[in-house]
Amino acid sequence: MEFGPTSHIYAMIPTPDLTHLNREDYDKVYEPAADTFLLLDALESDAAELKALKPRICLEIGTEAEEAQDGKDIRGAWAGGKNGMQVTDFLLEHVNGLLSPKGRFYLVAVKENNIPELQSRMRQQYGLDSKIVLQRRAGGEHLHVIRFFRG
């Protein structure tokens, strides 16, 4: 097998095994969907860089039923709370304080979240640079994974 100068070799992240979940679990757990797998693909493509940073903590944050849009179950969490950005906006206000000097923050966003404005706001308010590392259409959504980092 030959690899050119732009070839990337990285460890494959296995597809999550969900066989241990039962029907009731899906009332409390966000079932992996296109956005989940897009995030895994983005992390997989950055795996070598992330390993080199020797992270000590990896935290995944996700939108609880109490914060859900107009509902009392997990379905509202998929919508991101009021106007689609309520939970995300709350999280973005805290990223700067949570991120280590070499840390990375990955956000899955949809086109309707006004990604250029989101990137601009994070740079102006917190000095975080960003890059769209992966994007994909999934049904009616155009999903993006944005990597935020200190310049």
Domain ranges of the chain: 23-150
In 56-103, at which residue ranges do the beta strands (DSSP E only) sit? none
According to the model, what pLDDT value does residue 12 have? Answer: 64
Angle at 95 between CA 93 and CA 96, to 5 degrees: 95
Q: Model's pTM, two decimal places?
A: 0.75
Instruction: Give dist(CA 112, CA 85) in Å, integer.
Output: 10
8 Å CB contact between 146 and 115: yes
Q: Which CATH class for the 23-150 domain?
A: alpha beta
Q: What is the pLDDT of residues 21-41, one digit of tens each?
A: 888 887 777 677 888 889 999
Angle at 146 between CA 143 and CA 148, to 5 degrees: 165
Residue 3's Cβ-side half-sphere holds a number of Cα atoms within 13 Å equal to 6
Q: What is the pLDDT of residues 122-133, one digit of tens each?
A: 999 999 999 999
